[in-house]
Structure 1
Amino acid sequence: MSSELLEVALPDALEQAREEAVANGLPFAGGVSPPVAWSLVKSGKAVLVDVRSHEERVFVGYVPGSVHVPWATGTSLIRNPRFVRELEAKLGGKDKGAVLLCRSGNRSAQAAEAAAKAGLTLVFNVTEGFEGELDGNSQRGRLNGWRSHGLPWVQD
């Protein structure tokens, strides 16, 4: 989808995300695809928050300009007990829009749920994550995900 068409479709995409969240009983604002998330970030409507571990960002790559608030830390992925406080501080308040990104969309959904329960109401999950789902060969990055959409990312 071209950026012009995506800008026009953005309100509809957010409304659809909210409707699906309600229908599925999700406590957060909903899930959006990587292109919709990128459009939200570019338009200034949301901050992209990478909830992966520091190690994942270093070894797999990250989105330039994204904010890093790990949902879990270290190689054993111990849950970050300060996640919500750190997220709110980096966003600058509870009423700021955010799209949360992890590897596949699973941890970021958990993080979005925790944020919503703490009163952050404009938090969306990036459904496909940074690397996407596993394909038939048990490999990520080919079916979907931030990178497969050709969106900006870098690797150290």
Structure 2
Amino acid sequence: MTVELQEKPLHADLEAALGAARAAGLPYAGSVTPQQAWALHQAGEAVLVDVRTSEERKFVGHVPDTLHVAWATGTSLTRNPRFVRELEAKTGKAAAVLLLCRSGNRSAQAAEAAAKAGFVHVFNVAEGFEGELDDAGRRGLRNGWRFHGLPWVQD
């Protein structure tokens, strides 16, 4: 099932992210905060796609009512060679797409690959689901989707 959104002007938050990305020379449309991603997803302004592994989604938790296309699979995080095709099948290339991973690193790589494949408005969700590592090497205590108290569920 393709979720393709109709061609319409981008939300102001996405336009701002796009402008910042162009100024920084990013190869994809830019980044949004977890709070912006949730608001955009809820308002139907963008499609939220989790690019973590199925195992991460199951055992760590995931955002309800979102799509899943793994950027990499397994414990060795082997790159999914079908990522771009699977993403296109679920969202279409013209939709505003927000990619979410654990910390914002894999989703930035996925956004770059999608942009190179012709996706027009593909954005990274900065901080990711669990956030950056803190000084003790733990996630979830500094930033990220869960840290900000945004909706999530666990299987």
Amino acid of the residue matched to residue 132 of structure 1? G
Corresponding residue of 1:129: 128
1:59 Cα deviation after fit: 1.1
Corresponding residue of 1:4: none
> Under a length normalisation based on structure 1, what TM-score does the superposition of the two structures give?
0.90
> Under a length normalisation based on structure 2, what TM-score does the superposition of the two structures give?
0.90
The superposition leaves residues 31-69 of structure 1 with CA deviations (integer Å, 9 ceiling, x where unpaired) of 000000011101111111000001111111001111110
Corresponding residue of 1:52: 52
Query: Which 5+ residue runs of structure 1 have no aligned equivalent?
Result: 1-9
Measured in 2, the distance between the counterparts of 1:18 and 1:26 equals 9
Query: Which 5+ residue runs of structure 2 have no aligned equivalent?
Result: 1-9
Map residues 81-120 of structure 1 onto 2, 5 A cutoff: 81-91=81-91, 93-120=92-119
RMSD in angstroms over aligned alpha carbons?
Answer: 1.2
Aligned positions, number? 146
Larger relative helix fraction: 1
Measured in 2, the distance between the counterparts of 1:57 and 1:14 equals 26
Measured in 2, the distance between the counterparts of 1:94 and 1:33 equals 22
% identical equivalent positions: 69
Corresponding residue of 1:28: 28
